[in-house]
């Protein structure tokens, strides 16, 4: 599923441990390429957290998307201060979640 998400993204970044050649984190953005982008995922393996990997991924996404008017993401309240430190602004919005589809939609045949 992760490969498909990254492949179909407007922009996708991966972090690789150069000693083990293991992917240890990734982030992606979806966008219309004109006005707006959304960052749906930032994932870093637990053993690699608190090393700046996630922050570097987000900063790189924001830098690559800097010509767009708006770059949005949704996160849990306890993560808001993390994203504020990376230059984002706390906002309010609405979401809808279909938890039955949390594992992702099956590929079309």
- pLDDT, residue 1, reads 64
- pLDDT, residue 104, reads 80
Task: Supply the pTM of this predicted model.
Answer: 0.89
Q: In this predicted model, what pLDDT tens digit does every residue of 51-108 receive, in sequence order?
A: 999 999 999 999 999 999 999 999 999 999 999 999 999 998 888 889 988 888 776 6
- pLDDT, residue 24, reads 98
- pLDDT, residue 103, reads 83
Average pLDDT estimate for 10-22: 98
Instruction: Give me the architecture of the 2-91 domain, per CATH.
Output: 3-Layer(aba) Sandwich (3.40)
- For the chain, the structural domain boundaries read 2-91
- pLDDT, residue 97, reads 86
Residue by residue, DSSP assigns the chain as -HHHHHHTSSEEEEEEETTTTEEEEEEEEEE-SSSEEEEEEEEE-GGGTTSSHHHHHHHHHHHHTTTSSEEE----GGGHHHHHHTT-----------GGGTT-PPPP-
- Integer Cα distance of 85 and 2 in angstroms: 27
In contact, 37 and 28? CB cutoff 8 Å? no
- pLDDT, residue 106, reads 72
């Amino acid at each position: 599923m992760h490969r498909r998400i990254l492949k179909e993204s407007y922009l996708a970044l991966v972090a690789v441990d150069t000693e083990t050649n293991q992917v240890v984190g990734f982030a992606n953005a979806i966008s219309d390429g004109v006005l707006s982008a959304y960052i749906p995922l930032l994932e870093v393996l637990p053993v690699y957290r608190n090393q700046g990997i996630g922050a570097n991924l987000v900063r790189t996404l924001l830098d690559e998307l800097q010509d767009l008017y708006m770059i949005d993401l949704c996160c849990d309240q306890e993560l808001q201060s993390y994203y504020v430190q990376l230059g984002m602004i706390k906002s309010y919005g609405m979401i809808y979640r279909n938890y039955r589809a949390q594992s992702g939609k099956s590929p079309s045949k």
